[in-house]
Amino acid sequence: MKLNLPNRLTLLRIILVPLCMYFILFSVGGETVSRIIAGVVFLITALTDLVDGKIARGRNLVTNFGKFLDPLADKFMIFGVLLAICSSDAYSNIRSAFVWVSAVVIFRELAVTSIRLVASGADNVVIAASWLGKVKTTFQCVAVMAIILEPVIIRPFLPQYNLYILSYTGMFLMVLFTVWSGVDYIRTYWKYINPDK
């Protein structure tokens, strides 16, 4: 199968997700080393999400395979990392809050995906990502990076630090923009799911 560059980058994103999950779930070389590797891998993964679409549109390389694979890779990236963080004992200090955050994120993503399917089936409408959806994705990635790397960044200077301020701030912003963008999608495309019609 011949793949163009954007599709290769999308496929790379899918391949990198289990690797990132592995270093979140298992302490390889110590917790600090694992967190750094997981953070770097996740950053590369998130950057492929930023770059593949721009290349596809800029070079007129948009394909049906890419339209199928890109949103799937995006969901896999976010869902995979959320589940890994929820499951890892290294993140047990924020688990009680993060489980609920993850539930909100997953529910929103599934709801918007369902709206896209209904709109596509009703009027052949392709719902592109809104600016708010892109902001949401950015804050999701920033929050994940903060959660993974906060101890690595702060503990060398504050050995007894256990407040997780960056993690909780990131989770708050992630939920805020996740809910906001989800409500915006529902409001904009309500006509396709209005129970009165």
**For 19-36, what is each residue's pLDDT tens digit?**
999 999 999 889 999 999
CA 26 to chain centre: 20
Mean pLDDT within 30-58? 92
pLDDT of 125? 62
Gyration radius (Cα) of the chain, Å: 18
Among candidate residues 5, 24, 23, 1, the one with its CA nearest the CA of residue 13: 5
In a domain, 197, yes or no: no
Domain count, the chain: 1
Tell me the pTM: 0.89
pLDDT of 106? 95
Residue 86: pLDDT over 90: yes
Calpha distance 112→71 (Å, rounded): 11
Residue with tokens 């909100």: 104
In a domain, 22, yes or no: yes
Domain that holds residue 79: 5-192
Q: Where does the chain show beta strands of DSSP type E? A: none
Per the structure block, which two tokens stand in for 54?
């721009």
CB-based contact 48:15 (threshold 8 Å): no
Query: What CATH code is carried by the domain that includes residue 158?
Result: 1.20.120.1760
In a domain, 155, yes or no: yes
